[in-house]
Amino acid sequence: MDIRFTDKNIFEAEAQSIVFFTDHSLLGNKTTSLIERAGERIIEPLIKQSGCATGVVKIVPGFDLYSNYVLLSVLPTRDHPLAEKIFEDMLFQIFNILAEYNIHSAAIDLFYIQKVFDQEYVALLNNVVKKNRRENTDVLLYLCKGEFVDNRL
C-alpha cells in the first residue's frame, strides 16, 4: 500500500474513489458539497441507497467527479460508547470494498476526521492502514488535508 499525504481536498485528489462522510439520509445538508461537485445525476443513486447506518459503507458512481466511485459512510458521534470500534470497522469495510470493486486508489478526508474527532481517530486510521498494508499492496491511499467549502462541520 502506498500512502500519500496531500494538501489537496478529496475532490482534487487524483484517486479512483473518494471516501465521503455524510449523514444518515445521504441527502441532508452534509451531502450538498458532494452533489454540487458530482452533479445532480448522483441524487438517484443516493436515493436508491435508502440511507446509511452509522459505520456502514456504501458505494455509488462518481459521475462528474474525477473519481469513478464515492464511498459513503456516517461517522459515529464522539460520545458513542463504541465510537472507536465502529470507526475501525468502517475503515476495514472501506478496504474490503476497494478489493471487491478492484479499486486501486482512494482519497480519505483526513481534514474532516481531524476536525470532528481530533488526533485520536487519526491514530486509529493509521493502525488500520498498518494492518491492511501487506494485504493491499496495490492500493494508493491519499490522506487529504485540504479543506473545501462544506456544510458538514
DSSP state of 74: B
> What are the angstrom distances between the C-alpha of 134 and each of 15, 70, 131, 138?
20, 24, 7, 9
How much is the pLDDT for 101? Answer: 96
pLDDT, one tens digit for every residue, the chain (153 residues):
788 889 999 999 999 999 999 999 999 888 999 999 999 999 999 999 999 999 999 999 999 999 999 999 998 887 878 888 898 899 889 999 999 999 999 999 988 888 877 777 777 888 787 777 667 668 898 989 988 766 555
CATH classification of 2-144, choosing from 3.40.220.10, 3.30.465.10, 3.30.300.180, 3.20.20.70? 3.40.220.10
